[in-house]
């Protein structure tokens, strides 16, 4: 007699997560106005009434999807930048690999200009988002900036950077490199250009303040 409620709860949880997965994909591909309950219902072979049952309205669904996505993306970024062992150059390479994972999900191969980041995509719709969703997007920038600053300071203390390196400026530039990656690939039409951007940044900016044999160029 106790199994039925548990199974019902499991199905309910599964449906909620399935709705969020499809909503995330549609939001990335088409933006806020291009995602509808009807589209999600068709993909999941369910009804719009069922989606309303789980999330109430579109605004609430977008808020939850945005919070979850930002939390996961922030956690991944923090894991990279707060790694106490990797060099600053290695962290940049790891961020590039992480970006490629997401890019290639929406752009087969190294070419394509389709959006691949929910954060980058929803920033274009910021005025139409709820305050809660906008706050979640803003938190990504704050959290990543803080993590990058720590990474640069660690690199300085480990002797990767010269004594007069402008650590705050370097962290600010890296933050904007991270924040602009999605838009950059859309403009360039390929991931190769973004990889080149990372290499040029390291060679021109970081190498200018690196100590000899610090493994900064990428």
In a domain, 218, yes or no: no
Does 3 score more than 80 pLDDT? no
Q: How far apart are CA 205 and CA 69, in angstroms?
A: 31
Domain limits for position 203: 3-209
- What's the pTM? 0.90
> What number of other Cβ atoms are within 10 A of residue 159's Cβ?
12
38: left (phi over 0), alpha (psi -120 to 50) or beta: alpha
pLDDT for the residue 5: 45
In a domain, 134, yes or no: yes
For 55-111, write each residue's pLDDT tens digit.
Answer: 999 999 999 999 999 999 999 999 999 999 999 999 999 999 999 999 999 998 878
Which pair of structure tokens corresponds to residue 102?
Answer: 């997401």
pLDDT for the residue 6: 52
**CATH (domain of 40):** 1.10.357.10
In a domain, 123, yes or no: yes
Residue 45's nearest CA partner among 10, 11, 19 is: 19
Q: How far apart are CA 167 and CA 173, in angstroms?
A: 10
**Model confidence band, residue 202 (pLDDT cutoffs 50, 70, 90):** confident
Contact between residue 185 and residue 217 where contact means Cβ atoms under 8 Å apart: no
In a domain, 217, yes or no: no
For 168-200, write each residue's pLDDT tens digit.
Answer: 999 999 999 999 999 899 898 999 988 998 989
In a domain, 214, yes or no: no
Specify the number of domains making up the chain. 1
**Model confidence band, residue 49 (pLDDT cutoffs 50, 70, 90):** very high
Find the mean pLDDT for residues 157-169.
Answer: 94
pLDDT for the residue 214: 57
For 110-142, write each residue's pLDDT tens digit.
Answer: 789 999 999 999 999 999 999 999 999 999 999
Residue 175's nearest CA partner among 72, 77, 82, 70 is: 77
In a domain, 70, yes or no: yes
In a domain, 216, yes or no: no
């Amino acid at each position: 007699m106790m199994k039925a409620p548990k199974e019902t709860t499991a199905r309910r949880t599964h449906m909620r997560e399935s709705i969020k997965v499809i909503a995330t994909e549609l939001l990335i591909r088409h933006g806020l106005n291009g995602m509808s309950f009807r589209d999600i219902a068709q993909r999941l072979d369910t009804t719009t009434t069922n989606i309303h049952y789980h999330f109430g309205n579109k605004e609430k669904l977008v808020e939850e999807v945005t919070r979850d996505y930002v939390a996961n993306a922030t956690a991944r970024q923090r894991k990279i930048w707060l790694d106490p062992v990797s060099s600053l150059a290695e962290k940049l390479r790891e961020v590039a690999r992480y970006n490629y994972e997401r890019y290639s999900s929406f752009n087969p191969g190294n070419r394509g200009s389709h959006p691949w980041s929910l954060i980058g995509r929803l920033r274009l719709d910021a005025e139409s988002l709820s305050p809660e969703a906008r706050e979640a997007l803003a938190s990504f920038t704050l959290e990543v900036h803080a993590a990058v600053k720590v990474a640069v300071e660690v690199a300085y203390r480990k002797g990767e950077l010269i004594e007069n390196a402008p650590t705050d400026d370097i962290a600010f530039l890296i933050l904007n490199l991270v924040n602009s990656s999605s838009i950059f690939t859309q403009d360039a039409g390929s991931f190769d250009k973004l990889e080149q951007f990372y290499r040029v940044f390291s060679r021109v900016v970081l190498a200018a303040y690196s100590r000899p044999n610090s493994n900064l160029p990428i």
